[in-house]
Amino acid sequence: MLGFGAVGCIILGGAWLGLGALLPSPEAGRAMLTILSDPPRGIVRIDGVERGYAPVTIEVKAGTLVQVSVVGISGRQPRSETVSLPAGEFRTITLRLAPKLGGL
């Protein structure tokens, strides 16, 4: 069953919500991961599956390695990171996409 927990700040429907904003708490054995991209609006993939545009918050299985990728921003290189979260944790990561070098 989902409960509710507080987080620092989130984006919901394009609006920032401050301290104390409510998100569903992760179920037992799960964790919540928020992915941001710089520049914003990159396509987020979790273990190769598209999950929306950054920023996005997803529930993940705790204690497992999760590959997070952000792609699809013109003129920027894709970026990936592997994370593992303990049960009940809320974590935010920002993937910064470097400019593509050279080429036509």
The percent of residues in the chain predicted with pLDDT above 70, rounded, is 72
In angstroms, the first-to-last Cα distance of the chain is: 52
What's the CATH number where 40 sits?
2.60.40.2190
Whole-number pLDDT of residue 31: 95
Domain count for the chain, please give it.
1
Region 72-100: mean pLDDT is 96
Q: What φ, ψ does residue 23 adopt, rounded to 5°?
A: -125, 155
Split at pLDDT 50, 70, 90, the class of 73 is very high
59 falls within a domain: yes
84 falls within a domain: yes
5 falls within a domain: no
22 or 79: whose pLDDT is higher?
A: 79
8 falls within a domain: no
Structural domain range at position 83: 26-96
Q: What Å distances lie between residue 27 and 67, 76, 81, 84, CA to CA?
A: 21, 35, 24, 16
Q: Identify the residue whose tokens are 């520049």.
A: 39
d(CA 94, CA 56) in angstroms, rounded, equals 11
Q: What Å distances lie between residue 84 and 17, 41, 76, 96, CA to CA?
A: 26, 23, 26, 19
Split at pLDDT 50, 70, 90, the class of 23 is low
Task: Determine how many CB atoms are found less than 10 A away from the CB of residue 32.
Answer: 21
36 falls within a domain: yes
Whole-number pLDDT of residue 50: 97
7 falls within a domain: no
Whole-number pLDDT of residue 1: 36
